[in-house]
Structure 1
Amino acid sequence: MLDVADYERIRRRVRIEGKTQRQAADELGHSRNTISKALTHSSPPGYRRKNPPPRPALDPFLALIDAWVKADRSQSRKQRHTGTRIYERLRDEYGFTGSVSAVRRYLAHCKQTQGEVFFPLQFDAGEEGQVDWGQAWCLINGVERKVFLFCLRLCYSSVSYVRAYFQEVQECFLDGHVNAFSFLGGVPRQLAYDNLKSAVITVGQGQDRRLNRHFVALRSHYLFETRFCNVASGNEKGHVENLVKHSQRTFMTPLPTVASLEVLNDHLEAQCRKELDKKAPRREETRGVLLEEERVRFLELPPTPFSACRQQSTFASKQSTVRFDTNDYSLPVRWAHHPVQVKGFVDRIEIWTQEQSVAIHPRSYDRHQYVLDPLH
């Protein structure tokens, strides 16, 4: 078989030295067809199979294999047919005499020809942001701790906002939105989510979702629309998926060493501001310039930010304490045995009764602790 050097020699002999195709064939010992092919292509085109190779043993079973593969799409990934399992069933149940490698080659061919094709989505300024959670580790006051990263990225400008929390719970999710909107200077007209528990209780058909009431209250406060991705379709919010990875590998690498979660969040916000000076992907403008375009289209911020807390109604105990997430918080003794409203914010616990605040404590993220104030 001729290689690219042979082709170059033939082409040079005819095109540069002025030989005829017959003379080049005689001098170089190739056929006239080979000389003609070399003049048409600058390098060997390689072997090309005109027809698929015959599979006499497998061909009668292709429709059956296709049916099994199609049925597997509705099953758990851990309970789908492997190539070996399909081969065993064909052999034991249908008398298949071919090889397991023939089955695997066919399945690989099917995967190549039937794979999904994704197209990048285009967004207008202010149209959509995407939200998701990520995880990372850091050293806080000398202790290695896992933190959860609230991530929001705008689809038009690629401006990002990242904030860390000790838990991936409702009030942190709400607080992340409040701080992100403040950072952006407005509210995107639509936010996209997967079916995370902080927002979605149950998933129905299409866009039908039963939503968490606290999340609905947040949406009502800022009046943005929502778009929920199909199940197991992370590609439908690829902007924020990329932000999660970027945050872990850039903002949180190497492991940040900080005195507190507040210092870590100052670091993350500084990184987000620094990226405003970078060019947006596939754009000539910086992200900061594009953000100004987005702000013109954003929904305006309300006069007061949303109260980002998780609320629960309970009764104060005879020890004049209330429990929130396994921890007990004190309140004045005169409110023992009274009905109270507990508001759990990211950084504090507020206890209310008869529409007045009767106690405020720093929030504890330990378990089974007593947080007491003897000066009530």
Structure 2
Amino acid sequence: MISLKKKQQVLIAFHQEGKSQRKIAKEVGLSRNTVKRYIEEDLESRKKDSRNLPVTDNYIAPPSYKKRNGQKRALTHSVIKQIRKMLKENEYKRQHQMHKQQLKMVDIHEKLLDKGFNISYTTVRNFINREEARKKEVFIRQKAVAGREIEFDWGEVKLCIGQSWRSLSMAVFTLPYSNWRFAYLYESETMVCVQDAHAKCVASLQFVPEVFTYDNMRTVVKNFIGTEREITEGMRNVSMHYHFKIRLCQPRKGNEKGHVERSVEYIRRKAFAHQDSFSDLQAARSYLAAIVHKLNTHQHYKKNIAHHELMLEERADRAAGAEVVPFDASELLESRVDKYSTVTYRQNHYSVPEGHVGKWVKLKASAETIRVFSEDECLATHRRCWQNHQWVMDIFHYIHTFQKKKGALAQSECLSQAPAQLQKIYQDHYIGNERDFLELLLYLKEHQNLSRVLNAIHQLQKNPMVQLTTDKIIFLASQEERTAKASPEPGDEVTSQSLENLSAIHALFETKTTGVLH
């Protein structure tokens, strides 16, 4: 290929210096025919106005050879017909939710070889790329309106909770106008969790956007009827409560809610790329809330205003929907209390106070708690367990039963789930003396003052001359409770005087309580 510089030398020598073609060819080092062709092309191009044509001036266009359009020997009309037929089948599968069963380019090439066509994979690939390029999608840029729309999506997060790795689901909401974000961690993606995420997001926003946008998740879309999609009953209840409209993306068109798609990846990276181990799930939720709050204080990349301040503008535009009662995101059902005084929900057992065995009770399950009701009275409240075949038990629900079956206390499931402080008290002071331990549990159930009981035990352990008994623990805890009610700052004089009184009583009677291992 002759360089552009030599072509320009030929034209400059001819037009400006008036040299002959033969002399120009000798100086530039080109054949006289090439020089003649350059000059003739330039003289011809000067007669045309190329300002409105997709061509350049002849003297700035590099030399080129004419492209040879040879006949394709392998890509015949029969091959093209077969390839287009298979591409049409792929299009049909995409339209009928069978996109994972499409033929790839390598499959099309293998099928052509099986039919006896001698063609290379490269030829097939290039032809398919040209065919698919004709059907490139055109995207319409949207203009966000304040307070109109919010987008929702789930994201998976893998975290170390306690000592074990768990896969959690992160619910994410994003306002397209302000790019304000909300995120919360759940252990599942069930309908109750979706409803609870909506209630928490609206409570944080303090207004309800006009439209909520989703993809075709099972908790939102019940089924497809042709091109129509039916909304689930749970999402219809949420939309009717908050008075918002539901917009669904087209299948496999995540770009239609691109703000939240980007937010899922952005929040997950900003939050859990730096820290992925937490003591419990609540600590992970608090950490995520702090990170999201920090991200919302950043400035919008275009408007140079903080995301939170832009959200306040949206709240002002939607002031009519600000005062909304929170949605009750829970599932209500009836269950019979079994012989262990528990009710079963989704293969897990939750304890119920004694005296209800065999009775029917109402169970209200939310995303985080399980509450048991009997005639509008709340009998028990438990943290919801998302594992299977687990027993969630409260030791205070079985105190009267343990008074009859004291030997069952040491190896009971409810003692193993009791607070660690209670387990330590039993292991250190009450093994073989279950009767007094049950008296202490009964006192704790009535007064709900475990901290004062622990403080009383600590004070008794300071004096080796005083024996630690249940009566003395209750006496000291009660004295501290009465002092706390009388004065906001309890002094040490009451505790010291109480210890002196207990020491005198102990020296007077010289009693020692002995327990029996039942």
TM-score by length of 2: 0.63
Q: Which protein shows a greater Rg?
A: 2
**1:118 paired to 2:142:** no
Indicate the SS of the match to 2:140: coil
Q: CA deviation at 1:169?
A: 2.2
Separation in 2, partners of 1:182, 1:132: 18
CA contact (8 A) 1:222 1:301 kept: no
Q: Which moved more, 1:63-72 or 1:113-122?
A: 113-122
Equivalent residue for 2:184? 163
Q: CA deviation at 1:178?
A: 1.5
Q: Cα RMSD between the aligned structures?
A: 3.3
| Distance of aligned partners of 1:40 and 1:202 in 2 relative to their CA distance in 1, 3 Å threshold | same
| 1:224-277 deviation per Cα after TM superposition (whole angstroms, max 9, x unaligned) | 110112222212211111111112222221233333322222222222222233
Indicate the SS of the match to 1:235: helix
Equivalent residue for 1:54? 71
Q: CA deviation at 1:43?
A: 7.4
**1:201 paired to 2:201:** no
Equivalent residue for 2:329? 308
Equivalent residue for 2:407? none
Q: CA deviation at 1:125?
A: 0.9
| Distance of aligned partners of 1:335 and 1:98 in 2 relative to their CA distance in 1, 3 Å threshold | same
**1:342 paired to 2:360:** no
Indicate the SS of the match to 1:361: strand
AA aligned opposite 2:333: Q
Equivalent residue for 2:299? 279
Q: CA deviation at 1:88?
A: 4.1
Structure with the largest fraction of helix = 2
Separation in 2, partners of 1:22, 1:196: 78
AA aligned opposite 1:178: A
Equivalent residue for 1:65? 83
Separation in 1, partners of 2:234, 2:88: 40
Q: CA deviation at 1:19?
A: 4.7
Indicate the SS of the match to 1:375: helix
AA aligned opposite 1:154: L
| Distance of aligned partners of 1:33 and 1:130 in 2 relative to their CA distance in 1, 3 Å threshold | farther
| Distance of aligned partners of 1:84 and 1:223 in 2 relative to their CA distance in 1, 3 Å threshold | same
**1:239 paired to 2:259:** yes
CA contact (8 A) 2:7 2:38 kept: no
| Distance of aligned partners of 1:291 and 1:81 in 2 relative to their CA distance in 1, 3 Å threshold | same
Equivalent residue for 2:92? 74
Separation in 2, partners of 1:354, 1:48: 92
TM-score by length of 1: 0.84
Equivalent residue for 2:161? 140
Give the percent of matched residue pairs that are identical in Structure 1 and Structure 2: 26
Separation in 1, partners of 2:63, 2:208: 56
| 1:17-53 deviation per Cα after TM superposition (whole angstroms, max 9, x unaligned) | x9559689655446376585996576749889596x6
Equivalent residue for 2:271? 251
AA aligned opposite 1:279: Q
Separation in 2, partners of 1:34, 1:339: 100
CA contact (8 A) 1:201 1:210 kept: yes
| Distance of aligned partners of 1:21 and 1:122 in 2 relative to their CA distance in 1, 3 Å threshold | farther
Q: CA deviation at 1:310?
A: 2.8
**1:83 paired to 2:101:** no
Indicate the SS of the match to 1:183: helix
Separation in 2, partners of 1:44, 1:259: 69
| 1:100-141 deviation per Cα after TM superposition (whole angstroms, max 9, x unaligned) | 432222112222332323233222111111101001122333
Equivalent residue for 2:312? 292
Indicate the SS of the match to 1:73: helix
Separation in 2, partners of 1:73, 1:22: 64
Q: CA deviation at 1:82?
A: 3.2
| 1:315-360 deviation per Cα after TM superposition (whole angstroms, max 9, x unaligned) | 2223321112321011133333333222222332101233332211
Structure with the largest fraction of strand = 1
Separation in 2, partners of 1:245, 1:287: 18
Separation in 2, partners of 1:21, 1:78: 70
Separation in 2, partners of 1:43, 1:260: 70
| Distance of aligned partners of 1:191 and 1:303 in 2 relative to their CA distance in 1, 3 Å threshold | closer
Separation in 2, partners of 1:43, 1:139: 64
| Distance of aligned partners of 1:350 and 1:42 in 2 relative to their CA distance in 1, 3 Å threshold | farther
Q: Which moved more, 1:240-249 or 1:80-89?
A: 80-89
| Distance of aligned partners of 1:369 and 1:19 in 2 relative to their CA distance in 1, 3 Å threshold | same
CA contact (8 A) 1:222 1:302 kept: no
| Distance of aligned partners of 1:47 and 1:206 in 2 relative to their CA distance in 1, 3 Å threshold | farther
Structure 1: which 5+ residue stretches go unaligned? none
**1:129 paired to 2:150:** yes
Separation in 2, partners of 1:21, 1:324: 100
Indicate the SS of the match to 1:333: coil
Equivalent residue for 1:172? 193
CA contact (8 A) 2:315 2:322 kept: no
Q: Which moved more, 1:320-329 or 1:116-125?
A: 116-125
Task: Name which of 130, 140, 148 aligns with 1:109.
Answer: 130
